[in-house]
A = this chain, B = another copy of it.
Amino acid sequence: MMNRSLFRAAVRSVQGSRTVTGRRCASSSAVFNWEDPLASAELFTEEELAIQDTARQYCQERLLPRVLDAYRNEDYDRKILEEMGEIGLLGASIEGYGCAGVSTVASGLITKEVERVDSGYRSGMSVQSSLAMTGIYEFGTEEQKQRFLPELAKGKLSGCFGLTEPNHGSDPGSMETVAREHPTKKGTYLLTGSKTWITNSPIADLALVWAKLETTGKIKGFIVERSRCPPGTFETPAIKNKSALRASITGMIQMDDCPVPAENMFPDVEGLTGPFTCLNSARLGIAFGTMGALEDCLARAREYSLERKQFKGNPLAKYQLVQKKLADAATDAAYGTLAAVQVARLKDAGKATPEMISMVKRQNCDRALVNSRILQEIFGGNAASDEYHIGRHVANLFVVQTYEGQSDIHALILGRAITGKQAFV
């Protein structure tokens, strides 16, 4: 439990130095903190706060300096996963197998700090943690867990998640990828099909691939190890010239009779339960993460508005139209954080439902996107310069809104839960 003890140390240092007390005033003279307007920090344990501090420090010191070049050149640094692994950020909510075993809230706060820098970096981490690791942890055999989770937690192995297909974005149940039993080699499946928009696929050592069993037509999960795939059976070409999330690496997975041993299949889970469990974990992370991105937009817009002067030397911050934008964004960031925390607490208590996650994923993505765009207006033409960072967030957040359930899809999921009626046509 190395990571956990590391966090514990962080907790003590915080308690000792009290350097962050501004966030947790217990005195009677409460002070408004624009960075946490509704004092969500009051809802966190000391350990959770310490984890957030650790994550923030790493993100601001190590990720932020890299992001501009990474984004410009679509160049993801594979070492990031190892760095994250080192301080325990990967699969953080998993118990055992070298993982930190922190609360879902703590895990969400990590996500928030990473996405405060860039949604692409958060995507890379989420795929590793919430999709690949959670899948194996929830549905894998003990042997699979032992074999893969510790190395994934360290970032030594990188994983990806192959669900979405070129023709089936919002409707994975119609997937075309099939797994058939090898005609001669017993205990081996042959996977054939294409997956697309797969974060990390070009650098993944293993891919959690969902495919329909030829015999039953039911969806099953397979851990495909790249190193064991013969040439030409498992290709992961990168998708370039993306208009967003350029600091993450994205690709396809093309499988042509790719052989996978039966012991790499998840034994029990069947149908969409498997992938949806993983997605729900990731979506809750997104609900936290987007609030980090929005808070960064707010902080940058606020700073710009205070520095930039127009007409009679007044800073933009003095204009009503600017203040309204800031107030709206601060409000939505505060509300979204509270909602994400609530669902995370419910999850740890066994009381969260997929619809709750649809709600916070959808709303937090929508509000982060809307507000980041409005904040971007404060920068005027300067928003076109990537050095102000906000254009990058805006572009990222649009894609984050569309993946793992586009906003409208989640609206219809909620609509179905509210009315009992299906409206997917």
Residues on A lying within 8 angstroms of B by beta carbon are 25-28, 30-32, 34, 37-40, 42-43, 72, 164, 167-171, 174, 197, 239, 241-245, 250, 302, 305-306, 309-312, 314-315, 317-324, 326-328, 330-331, 334-336, 338-339, 342-343, 345-346, 349-356, 359-360, 362-363, 373, 376-377, 379-387, 391-392, 394-395, 398-399, 401-403, 406-408, 410-412, 414-425
Q: How far is the CB of A294 from chain B (nearest CB, A)?
A: 14
CB nearest neighbor in B for A317: B419
Contact between A402 and B421 (Cβ–Cβ < 8 Å)?
no
**Alpha-carbon separation in the docked complex, A425 to B305 (Å):** 14
Contact between B362 and A331 (Cβ–Cβ < 8 Å)?
yes
Contact between B42 and A346 (Cβ–Cβ < 8 Å)?
yes
**Alpha-carbon separation in the docked complex, A318 to B67 (Å):** 40
Known contacts A32-B353, A402-B381; decide if A310 and B418 are in contact (CB<8 Å): no
Q: How far is the CB of A310 from chain B (nearest CB, A)?
A: 5
Q: How far is the CB of A306 from chain B (nearest CB, A)?
A: 6
Residues of B within 8 A of A306 (CB): 419-421
**Alpha-carbon separation in the docked complex, A21 to B56 (Å):** 40
Contact between B342 and A418 (Cβ–Cβ < 8 Å)?
no
CB nearest neighbor in B for A250: B384
Residues of B within 8 A of A28 (CB): 350
Q: How far is the CB of A13 from chain B (nearest CB, A)?
A: 24
Residues of B within 8 A of A353 (CB): 30-32
Contact between B402 and A377 (Cβ–Cβ < 8 Å)?
yes
A-B contact pairs, 6 of them (CB 8 A): A243-B384, A302-B419, A328-B411, A373-B373, A377-B401, A383-B398
Q: How far is the CB of A229 from chain B (nearest CB, A)?
A: 26
Contact between A168 and B241 (Cβ–Cβ < 8 Å)?
no
Contact between A242 and B38 (Cβ–Cβ < 8 Å)?
no
Known contacts A399-B381, A411-B323, A415-B320; decide if A386 and B241 are in contact (CB<8 Å): yes
Residues of B within 8 A of A40 (CB): 342
Contact between B418 and A363 (Cβ–Cβ < 8 Å)?
no
Contact between B169 and A381 (Cβ–Cβ < 8 Å)?
yes
CB nearest neighbor in B for A419: B317
**Alpha-carbon separation in the docked complex, A310 to B164 (Å):** 12
Contact between A343 and B38 (Cβ–Cβ < 8 Å)?
yes
CB nearest neighbor in B for A425: B314
Contact between A324 and B415 (Cβ–Cβ < 8 Å)?
yes
